Amino acid sequence: MKILQINASYKPAYIYGGPTMSVSKLSEELIKAGCQVQVYTTTAKGPEELPIPPNTKQIVDGVRVTYFKRITKDHSHLSPALLKALWRNAKQYDAIHIHAWWNMVSVLSALIGQIKKVPVVISPRGTLSNYSFGYRKSLLKKLFHSVIGKSLLNHSYIHATSPAEQQSLQQIISPRQIFDIPNFVEIAPSMLMKTYDSSPLFKLLFFSRIDEKKGLDILLHALPLLKVPYHLTIAGDGDRQYVEVLKNIIHYNNTEAHVSWIGFQHDNKFEVLAGQDLLVLPSQNENFGNVVIESLSAGTPVLISNGVGLADYVSENNLGWVCEAKPESIAGMINEIAINQKDKLQLMSDTAPTLIYADFDEGRLVQRYIGMYSQIITSPQL
């Protein structure tokens, strides 16, 4: 089975957050399972470029990756070299798996795949929802969707990462089939020890790419409403201007003494996660939420908004709490946890890692992806 993975970014472009890691992990696990995998990506690293020779094949953690030069430095990621290579080589692959939407790499790759009559599966990864249509360039998105985007999506197979994302997609498009398979997520090593200390502070953590949809501004507005001693650690990077807006919120709310900014964390992320009492992810919209699984694997319970795709999973398995993406709801829940439900934190911390290791077992998960590819490869092509 030969699978071509296409994503506008690939590690080490960690600036793009969870999707970059999920695509990398998926590719690596497919290789381990005996599949032939090639990745087409770009040298994108935000407004900069990765220090990697463009248009040449690299071996990245066992995966063949070609980083093509892009000619735009924004989220469009236009790469004529990538598209030319795809046009020339598409027929060599049994299936083309495209990740994300609303960029020129994804859209034009889907078009080429369909012209070449190679099965195409698209993982929107949170970029295709009712929320996304009203988020950044909404009029342009709606126009593009009506002219060509909807047709491309409806003639493709779609991969959703949670039941919530699948339900959202079904309201927008009618593809050939939708598969619901969770992300591959790097989980904490089994020898990691959850850390506790005698500090009276309730230790909160926001660990994510800093972007408007992630709801950090909502969390910051909730801080003045807290009735318990607390400290919030913010781990992540984002647009400098937006970060300044967030810092101004903290300043005007007089909560600067209660907040630490530690920037993007990668090599030591599980130590950071394990050192907190509660992860808070109040996203406006989130198809999955890798950091939720990462945090639980490290023994740290979560408080997430009902806009996070894993909200039902967290509630059904008693791994944390779900709130609305509103300051009053977030603050009310944190106060309730810290004052009346602290005993549940210990119980969740003890049980979460074992459940996560079972539910996100790499061997079983990769077989579900292989099953998806096998099904679309053997289905009649339009």
CATH of the domain at 238: 3.40.50.2000
Residue 197 lies in a domain: no
55 and 123 share one domain = yes
On whether both 158 and 227 belong to a single domain, the answer is no
Give yes or no: residues 122 and 155 share one domain.
Answer: yes
225, 343: one domain: yes
What local confidence, expressed as pLDDT, does residue 133 receive? 65
Provide the residue range defining the domain that includes 270.
Answer: 202-359
Structural domain contains residue 254: yes
Rounded CA separation 89/299 (Å):
45
Q: Are residues 226 and 269 in the same domain?
A: yes
Q: How far does Cα 254 stand from its chain's mean position?
A: 32
Are residues 52 and 162 both part of a single domain?
A: yes
Q: What pLDDT is recorded for position 134?
A: 61
Structure tokens at 226: 């807290």
pLDDT at 195: 67
Tokens of 179: 């598969």
User: Strand pairing partners for 278?
Assistant: 204
| Assigned domain for 191 exists | no
232 & 247 share domain = yes
Q: What is the pLDDT of residue 21?
A: 87
- Structure token digits, residue 136: 């950044």
> Is residue 193 situated within a structural domain?
no
Q: Does residue 12 sit in the same domain as residue 111?
A: yes
Same domain assignment for residues 217 and 94: no
The answer to whether position 196 is within a domain reads no
Q: Is the peptide bond between 189 and the residue preceding it cis, with omega within 30 degrees of 0?
A: no
Task: State the pLDDT at residue 335.
Answer: 97
Cα 84 to Cα 45: distance, rounded to the nearest angstrom: 21
Which pLDDT belongs to residue 138?
Answer: 63
Tokens 């490869």: give the residue: 377
Distance separating alpha carbons of residues 171 and 327, to the nearest angstrom: 28
Domains in the chain: how many in total? Answer: 2
Q: Residues, the chain, total?
A: 382
- The answer to whether position 194 is within a domain reads no
Give every residue of the chain whose pLDDT is below 70, as ranges: 130-138, 141, 195-198, 381-382
In a domain, 192, yes or no: no
- Cβ atoms of residues 53 and 92 within 8 Å: no
Task: Quote the pLDDT of residue 119.
Answer: 96
Please indicate, yes or no, whether residues 176 and 276 belong to a single structural domain of this protein.
Answer: no
Please state, in angstroms and rounded to a whole number, the distance separating the CA atoms of residues 156 and 177: 8
Q: Is residue 216 part of a domain?
A: yes
Could you give the CA distance from residue 254 to residue 19 in angstroms, rounded to a whole number?
35
Distance CA 114, CA 11 (A): 27
Are 126 and 235 in the same domain?
no
Note whether 252 and 280 are same-domain residues. Answer: yes
3-state helix, strand, coil in the chain (%, to 5): 45, 20, 35
